[in-house]
Chains A and B, each alone.
Chain A
Amino acid sequence: MTATQAQSATGSVAVSTSPLGAVARWVTLADHVRIGMSLALGAALWLAIAAVVGVVLGVERFDVGASVVNADAHIQLFSVHQFALVFGVAAPLMLGIALWSVPSQLHASNISLPRLAAFGWWAWLAGSITVLVSYLGNGGPGGGSERYVETYLLGLGLVMLGLVALAISLATTVLTRRNGLPLSAISLGAFSAVVGALGMVLTLPVAIGTIIYLWVDYTNARVAFGGAGLIDSWLGWTMREPQTLLYVAPALGVLGDAAVRTAKSRQPLRGVMLTAMGIAATVILSSVTQQAHVFTVGTSPSETLASFVPYALFNAVPLLSPVVVILLSLLALKAGTPSLSGAFVAAFLGVGMIFTGLVGSAAMHLDVLDLVGTVFGEAALVYVVYGAVLASIGAVALHAGAVTGKALPDLPVTLLALLGVAATVLASLPHYIAGLLDQPRAAAVGYDDSGIVGIANIATSLGHALMLLVLIAFIGLFVSSRRSAAIADRYRVEASA
């Protein structure tokens, strides 16, 4: 019992309603709804930061001659955008939504190891704030302040430690609280969550090990790892495709579950669906090589094959995961009697965006296209992360009834999903085009900004701004639905019928 609670003679627990008590309860939170919502809220704040930085970057790159920010800060600005998208938004948002909804999917009262999950949330929060402060103090990759570069490494390590703790809690929940069901019989959302969580447990510690090396080297000899300028070359694999697929893997399950509920039928090829989600786990191998695998046509068939096999393993195979899930979701709709829901629309479009990002990443690693080092990769990442945001909207719409007792109305969710996909395409597609026209990544100079490239850069700014609006509107919708007296939970009504 916490200090804010007092047990009466009859055994009922009186909870302090004082502001201090409320703060104490929040600090010592250990239930899945609060932890999950805290993570989602933290990720929403980082999404706002990512969107604002995205707007600034678009404006900065619109005109090569003009300069909105100091030229020395360019690398850090691109770096903070990447960090915000991956470790600020994608990973914590997906984990948060999974922690929030998985117990209800398993008919469990809470997550396993709730205090470990609470530690993970606080570690992520403290680490992400530390990273933000280090960027503001001229730290981060390429940073000029020694103290703040060290702070950045500390913060990044803390963020990853927190995510690993959250992933352990999530994976343990699914593995131990299944009420006797085999893994093949649990909900698709819970299955995909455990795939993503196990992937994070096995890959992020590798990155933590690299961070320890970097920190020791940076604070001492600086002979092995090359100082602040090379941090991104050692840790960049954690923030690009295919590794990002592990962070957003729960989105696949959201689509699978949403399709089944929308179709009011079973998934005809459930085994294939589970296999497709499991394929995402092949990405774990990315932590082994930690480098981009570019396909080059060699001078002999054996040379071409030697280049193609790693390319296919790291870029083409992960594509199977979202594409099979999308196709089987459509098959479920065909097999049932669907009535379109906001959850399905958001999840379908979200996974579609994730797939588009992964296709872009695979294309980028074709040597013949010469896209490595261009903004093409940045666009692929935005596709994946904003796709995860859309899928999260779908997840909240799908599970709000079961978790909070109040479902979200379908029409506004559908409209927000459509607006969100427009924002995603606007924030990403123009950079696919600019990448094909050789606009370099992580630089605001060295390209021709006239014509299509200039328009593309300003279009991405509009896309990020639109995503910010979608975020605000969705939070408003969620809060208003919690306050409304009785919005029918149609899934529950259907279940009881």
Chain B
Amino acid sequence: MTAPALTAGPARRTSTVLVASALVAAGAAALMGGMLAMWLQFRANAPTRVASDGVSLIKDWLKKDVAIPEVASNTMMFTFVIACVMAQWAVYSARRGDKSHTTLALAVTLFTGLAILNAQVALWMQIDIVLRNDAYETMFYTVTGTMFAIVASAMVYSLVAMFRVLAGRTGDHDVLTGHALYWYAVSGMFAAMWFVVYVQK
């Protein structure tokens, strides 16, 4: 006698949190992408004038005497790598049912974000430009300020995910995967901004 065949179980539903995280990340990427595109357009169209030597051309964009604090900007870039590793560690720990390591990983992600914000503020204090002078300064503070807000939003996500784990919802892997996905996306956005604003200037 053969055993009756089991009926198929319900189809696995796509995670709402994961899809929503991906969509929010896509929207944030569109926001930053659009802002960087305008930066590139303004830089390309910046007026040029003849220098005092009468030969060379000067582009009215970044002033010659303004130095970008590259230590702070490069430190931020590398700190994002740590944030991504920690976010992925949280996913790995949660899958193993390791609540303490999941919490630790999320806490480190959160504080890594705080370190990035701290570095950004340090960069603003070190760079010798004010908001009221020209197009470069306006755009510099706007694009870096928006990135600051996006990193802050990722930190809020880390905080919420951490509280959920602390409250015992360790089996909710989708939130942690969505959290890691968002940090990857934010890191990608920062890498693009770092290259355009801090490296290419």
Tell me the A residues contacting B by CB distance below 8 Å. 112-113, 116, 164, 168, 171-172, 175-180, 198, 201-210, 212-213, 216-217, 220-221, 223-224, 287-288
How many A-B contacts at CB < 8 Å in the complex?
A: 96
Question: For the complex, what is the distance from the CA of A171 to the CA of B19, rounded to whole Å?
Answer: 9
In the complex with contacts A116-B20, A209-B38, A209-B146, A202-B134 CB distance below 8 A:
no
Tell me the B residues contacting A by CB distance below 8 Å. 10-11, 13-16, 19-20, 23-24, 26-28, 30-35, 37-38, 42, 131-135, 137-139, 141-142, 145-146
User: What is the distance, in angstroms, from B197's C-beta to the closest C-beta of chain A?
Assistant: 14
CB–CB A212/B30 < 8 A: no
Within the complex, which residue of A198, A202, A209 is in contact with B35, where a contact is CB–CB below 8 Å? A209
User: What is the distance, in angstroms, from B21's C-beta to the closest C-beta of chain A?
Assistant: 10
Question: In the complex, given contacts A205-B31, A213-B35, A224-B139, what are 18 additional A-B residue pairs having Cβ atoms less than 8 angstroms apart?
Answer: A112-B16, A164-B27, A168-B27, A172-B23, A176-B13, A176-B16, A177-B13, A179-B11, A201-B30, A202-B30, A206-B31, A220-B131, A221-B137, A221-B138, A223-B135, A224-B135, A287-B30, A288-B37
Instruction: Classify the interface of chain B: helix, strand, loop or mixed.
Output: helix
- Considering only CB atoms, which chain B residue lies closest to A181 in the complex? B11
Question: For the complex, what is the distance from the CA of A113 to the CA of B178, rounded to whole Å?
Answer: 14
In the complex with contacts A176-B15, A213-B38, A221-B137, A206-B30 CB distance below 8 A:
yes
User: What is the distance, in angstroms, from A208's C-beta to the closest C-beta of chain B?
Assistant: 6
Question: For the complex, what is the distance from the CA of A139 to the CA of B37, rounded to whole Å?
Answer: 28
Question: For the complex, what is the distance from the CA of A288 to the CA of B38, rounded to whole Å?
Answer: 10
CB–CB A220/B35 < 8 A: no
User: Which residue of A209, A223, A288 has the most chain B CB atoms within 10 A of its CB atom?
Assistant: A209
A-B contact pairs, 27 of them (CB 8 A): A112-B16, A112-B19, A113-B20, A168-B20, A171-B19, A171-B23, A175-B19, A176-B15, A176-B16, A176-B19, A179-B11, A202-B27, A202-B30, A204-B27, A205-B27, A205-B30, A207-B34, A209-B146, A212-B146, A213-B35, A216-B138, A216-B141, A220-B132, A221-B135, A224-B42, A224-B134, A224-B138
CB–CB A206/B33 < 8 A: yes
CB–CB B11/A210 < 8 A: no
CB–CB B14/A176 < 8 A: yes
CB–CB B30/A221 < 8 A: no
CB–CB B30/A203 < 8 A: yes
- Considering only CB atoms, which chain A residue lies closest to B10 in the complex? A180
CB–CB B24/A168 < 8 A: yes
Question: For the complex, what is the distance from the CA of A372 to the CA of B34, rounded to whole Å?
Answer: 26
User: Which residue of A213, A217, A220 has the most chain B CB atoms within 10 A of its CB atom?
Assistant: A213
Query: Which B residues lie within 8 Å of A180 (CB)?
Result: 10-11, 13
